[in-house]
Amino acid sequence: MILVTGGAGFIGGNFVLDWLANPAAEGIVNIDKLTYAGNLATLKSLENDGRHVFVHGDIGDYDLALSLLKKYSIRAVLNFAAESHVDRSIHGPGDFIQTNVLGTFNLLEAVRAYWSDLSDLAKKEFRFLHVSTDEVYGSLSPTDPAFSETHPYEPNSPYSASKAASDHLVRAWHHTYDLPVITTNCSNNYGPYHFPEKLIPLVILNALAGKPLPIYGDGQQIRDWLYVKDHCSAIRRVLEAGQLGETYNVGGWNEKPNLDVVHVICGVLDQLRPKAGGIDAENKYASQITYVKDRPGHDRRYAIDATKLECELGWKPAETFETGIQKTVQWYLDNQEWTEGVLSGSYRDWVKKQYN
């Protein structure tokens, strides 16, 4: 079996569903702390699937991780678990250090103890795949080339600093202990099961609810968007064929200013769920766009150069931004039960804190 951490979150959840969609796939042990971002409703379709073992737990729990690795004879660990939202890291960085840095450290130590006792063959085949982000590279000017794997680490937010620290730990555990690790650094994901604190699901759900669509600052910050299922296929490919100790950038060559992204979403909603009362400008979703205070230390531009992954491992994304965003908006329209579950409770407190 493989061990997935954070598999009740957005990307981890999509990964688990995609992996188990293959009837021949190995089973998954899924360890997740179920923070505000973890959601078992995402995994509902696996309720009666014996290939999925869910464990409510913390990656920082060394004993638990070691016992699961032994009990299920794990042959690969995929580490998705993290605190992932930049704005939350600005309000309270402590949880980010706890999970992203100390949690990864404890997980690496449990994996090292387990791996050291494996047979030579099992040792050789074992993998620790660490899922990281392009934010560790810092911010680009408009004319800089996209981030390659050799770009210096220049993290700017508590979130990206904590992810950078975890990447360094993973690298060191390979260099010092020969642990068979690979790291992926991906750009901004979007798609089904995305928690609506992040720009794309927030805009879709606020638009449908008739609420303001908050744009930080001038809205000209650039992100490089990748459909989440393309990120999952990249991770599968890296797990299969990636070189030990290497890092791979994952991205879709889809750089877009935030304001453009929001206009595209509004346009798709105007088509798929037009507001009653005709097509006047004030009746279009874009009329809900509202400029709000900027994020402190806001990174201006991210862009990923995915040449290494494409040329060495033959990976290509299946979706363009246009096809991916259409699918995403449609998914939110079709999955009201999931979104209603998420929008209740503690999410409301977050919205109050962040947007006043």
- Residues forming contacts to ligand DAU in the complex (CB under 6 A) are 84-86, 133-135, 187-188, 198-199, 202, 214-216, 221, 223, 258, 295, 302
49 tagged catalytic: no
92 to 121, contacts with ligand NAD by CB under 6 A? 99, 103
Strands 222-227 and 188-190: parallel
CA-wise closest residue to 129 among 5, 223, 8, 26: 5
Partner whose binding site includes residue 216, from ligand NAD, ligand DAU, none (CB under 5 to 8 Å by kind): ligand DAU
What secondary structure letter does DSSP report for 243? Answer: P
12 to 51, contacts with ligand NAD by CB under 6 A? 12, 31-35, 37-38
- Check the CA dihedral 21-25-26-32 and report its sign: negative
121 to 140, contacts with ligand NAD by CB under 6 A? 131, 133
Partner whose binding site includes residue 33, from ligand DAU, ligand NAD, none (CB under 5 to 8 Å by kind): ligand NAD
227: enclosing H helix or E strand = strand 222-227
63 tagged catalytic: no
Partner whose binding site includes residue 258, from ligand NAD, ligand DAU, none (CB under 5 to 8 Å by kind): ligand DAU
The catalytic residue among 137, 159, 190, 332 is: 159
| Residue of 6, 192, 201, 317 interacting with ligand NAD (CB under 6 A) | 6
Give me the least distance between CB of 89 and ligand DAU, in Å please. Answer: 9
Q: Is 81 in the site for ligand NAD (CB under 6 A)?
A: yes
- List of residues 6+ apart from 108 with CB closer than 8 A: 128, 169, 170, 173, 179
135 tagged catalytic: yes
Scanning 114-122, 185-193, 240-248, 265-273 for contacts with ligand NAD by CB under 6 A, the matching segment is 185-193
DSSP code per residue over 43-93: GGGGTT-TTEEEEE--TT-HHHHHHHHHHTT-SEEEE------HHHHHH--
Give me the least distance between CB of 185 and ligand DAU, in Å please. Answer: 9
Smaller CB separation from ligand NAD, 5 or 206 = 5
Lookup: tokens for 347: 């999410």
User: CA 187, CA 147: separation in Å to the nearest integer?
Assistant: 10
Find where tokens 């005709």 sit: 278
Lookup: tokens for 72: 């299920």
- How far CA 13 is from CA of 188, 244, 253, in Å, comes to 16, 25, 24
CB-count exposure of residue 186 (10 Å: 0-12, 13-18, 19+): buried
Partner whose binding site includes residue 215, from ligand NAD, ligand DAU, none (CB under 5 to 8 Å by kind): ligand DAU
Give me the least distance between CB of 85 and ligand DAU, in Å please. Answer: 5
Contact residues toward ligand NAD (CB under 6 A) are 5-6, 8-12, 31-35, 37-38, 58-60, 80-84, 99, 103, 131, 133, 163, 186, 188-189, 195
Catalytic residues: 134-135, 159
